[in-house]
């Protein structure tokens, strides 16, 4: 669903994880990548979606994928 908005698959996964309450550290552990990689994908997601706040991302994900999938 988020990929349909222009996000890469990894950006969408990071957005879902962060929106469901994961920290960058726990998202990195879940994806088997470093925290900086998660931050980079999160920044890319914000840019592609025209967002600047994590709260806005959480609201968008809740509307599009209300159950986190």
- How distant, in Å, are the alpha carbons of 11, 14, 28, 39, 63 from that of 66? 17, 15, 22, 23, 6
Residue listed under structure tokens 């908005």:
5
pLDDT given for residue 69 in this prediction: 47
Which residue ranges form the domains of the chain, and what is each CATH number? 3-64 (1.10.10.10)
Query: What is the pTM (predicted TM-score) of this model?
Result: 0.87
34-55 pLDDT, tens per residue?
999 999 999 999 999 999 999 9
């Amino acid at each position: 669903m988020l990929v349909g908005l222009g996000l890469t698959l990894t950006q969408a996964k990071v957005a879902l994880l962060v929106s469901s309450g994961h920290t960058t550290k726990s998202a990195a552990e879940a994806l088997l990548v470093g925290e900086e990689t998660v931050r980079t994908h999160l920044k890319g997601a914000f840019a592609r979606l025209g967002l600047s706040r994590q709260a806005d991302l959480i609201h968008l994900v809740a509307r599009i994928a209300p159950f986190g999938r």
